[in-house]
Each structure stands twice: as C-alpha cells, then as structure tokens.
Structure 1
Amino acid sequence: MSLIPSFFSGRRSNVFDPFSLDVWDPLKDFPFSNSSPSASFPRENPAFVSTRVDWKETPEAHVFKADLPGLKKEEVKVEVEDDRVLQISGERSVEKEDKNDEWHRVERSSGKFLRRFRLPENAKMDKVKASMENGVLTVTVPKEEIKKAEVKSIEISG
C-alpha cells in the first residue's frame, strides 16, 4: 500500500522517477477521432514535417544546413528549378508496429518534408553541391562574382 495517493488511477507511476508519470489527458474521453495524443500512434509528427533549415551567406556561397537525424542520403532529395528555386525533400517512414508491443512514449518524428528557397540573382545554379554527414545535410550554392560598375571619369572642358 502506497503512502502517496495516486491521481493517475490504474497508470504506472513512481514518485521518484519523473519520466514514469503519465500526464493527465483532459481530451482522452472526448468523441473526436485522434483528438488525443494517447488515442493512437501518430502517423506524422509536425516537428519533422517542418524541418528546420539554416541559411547563411558567405562571401563565396549560400550555405544551407538541415538536421535530418536517422535519414540516409538515399532518402533525401535536393533539386534546383529553372526559376532559381532550391528544393529539399524526403521522408522518414513510420516504424512498423507489432500488435504485441505497448508504446509508452512516441517522440521521434516521421512523415514527409519539403522546403523550398528562392535563391538570389547571384547564385550559380549549375554549381550546386550537397553532402550529408552525421544526419546533417549541407547544400552549398556558389555565388557569381559581382562585377562592380566601371566608373569612367569624364574630363570637363572649358
């Protein structure tokens, strides 16, 4: 018999382990389909669907970095379109469920993602390179050298 009352009747809880406490779900009894996180295994997680990408500009290039943990380079696609658009896309499949498995927490993300960026006029679209290392995709778009306008002095007569 526990000296501490359980407010999560029937749920596993251990006061000394903060990760064992289930969070009370006020929507679990509503008749909406999939309204509750505990209602079913999520098919897509918005954290992965809206993949975050850093874009920095150096004197030589535009550099894009995307964190894509757990993906192989074969599962990611990098494309450039004629109208100077860089497109990064891919998909992480949902882990197969076994009917005998009981999920306690699902936090890893899955689903499709697509990000598009309009590149500036100085981007060399035919020289784009991409690499992937340790789950980080790096796309480098070299810049054309900006030609400074020639200034010609005009002699003033008179």
Structure 2
Amino acid sequence: MLLSRRNNLFDEFFNDPFFNDSVQNRTTLMRTDIEDDGTNYIIDVELPGYKKENVRAELKDGYLTIFAEASGSSEDSEGRNFLRKERYSGSCKRSFYVGSQLRQEDIKAAFDNGILKLTVPKEAPKQIEENHYITIE
C-alpha cells in the first residue's frame, strides 16, 4: 500500500492543480495590450476559446466594457471513456474609461483568432453642428 505524507487521502486529492487553479485562470483571462498610435488607442484583448458571437463590447457613461461568455458544453462524447474532462464555463468582463464624449460609432471593433481589436479615438471627432431653427409663431 502506498502511504502518503498526509493523513487524509482527500487532502492530497483536493490539492491537485485541477482544484486550485480556477482563481489563477480567471486572473489570466482577458489579457490586454493598449497601444497609442498617435491618434487612436489600439486595444487588443486576448479571448482564446471564445466565439465571436459570445463577445460583446458596450460603451456607457464613458466606460468601454468588454463581456465574454463561454459554455462548458463540448462535442458529443458518447461511447468515450474519459478519466477527466475539463471545460471552462462562465463569463468575464473588463472595463476601461475612454471618455464621455465618445459615441459607440466612434469605436471600431474586430474579432479574429481569439483577439478582440478595438480602435478608440483619443479625442472625440468634431461634431458638425447642424442648423437649428427657432420656430416663429
């Protein structure tokens, strides 16, 4: 019989990285690079394993918030004998203050190979003032 240094078999079982790394995995999600190209901020957000339809970006009150959701479902595994099957299921979000003068249409976004690329202008584009006439009664 193999004896462990620990008294309890379950102590060793639950010290397995499978049970301990969930917090570490959450902190490594959405790694972000922000580049200043002179007129824009280029924000690259790593979202490996996420699908484009499960990623969204929202601009509200000057904050750009990125949401990503993943489901733990996987392909059909009928007839297969897994000893362990690991999938991440959950959501994550990250916010950046980009300024209250920006509008959603000022920000450009693309998603390719697990990278969300956002182009955010450093200054809000100048609005062309339209003529507003005062109604004379």
Alignment TM-score, normalising by the size of structure 2 = 0.63
For 2:119 and 2:99, the matched residues in 1 are separated by 14
**Given the alignment, which residue of 92, 103, 122 partners 1:113?**
92
Mark the CA change 1:28 to 1:69 in structure 2 (over 3 Å): closer, same or farther: farther
Residues 47 and 109 in structure 1, CA contact (< 8 A), matched pair in contact too: no
Structure with more strand by fraction:
2
- Whose radius of gyration is greater, 1 or 2? 1
Q: Distance in 2 between matches of 1:118 and 1:28?
A: 48
- Give the 3-state SS of the residue equivalent to 1:138 in structure 2: strand
Q: Aligned residue for 2:132?
A: none
CA contact 2:71–2:88 (8 Å) conserved in 1 = no
Shift of 1:102: 0.9
**RMSD between aligned alpha carbons?**
3.8
In structure 1, what is the equivalent of residue 65 of structure 2? Answer: 87
Residue 67 of structure 1 deviates from its aligned partner by: 1.0
Please tell me whether the aligned partners of residues 28 and 39 of structure 1 are also in contact (alpha carbons under 8 angstroms). no
Aligned length: 116
> Which residues of structure 2 form unaligned runs of 5+?
126-137
The match for 1:102 is 83
Deviation (angstroms), 1:35: 4.5
- Cα distance per residue 1:101-141 (max 9 Å; x no partner): 211x84x65421110111146x6334011101111110111
SS in 2 for 1:29: helix
Q: Is the 8 A contact 1:51 1:66 kept in 2?
A: yes
1:143 equivalent in alignment to 2:104? no
What is the alpha-carbon distance in structure 1 between the residues aligned to residue 108 and residue 30 of structure 2? Answer: 20
Instruction: Report deviation, 1:88.
Output: 0.3
Q: Higher helix fraction: Structure 1 or Structure 2?
A: 2
SS in 1 for 2:43: strand
Contact 1:28 1:38 in 2 (8 A): no
Equivalent-residue separation in structure 1 for 2:55 and 2:89 (angstroms) = 13
TM-score (norm 1): 0.56
Q: Does 2:36 align with 1:57?
A: yes
Distance in 1, Cα, partners of 2:18 & 2:42: 41
Distance 2:36 2:120 in 1: 9
Q: Distance in 2 between matches of 1:25 and 1:112?
A: 38
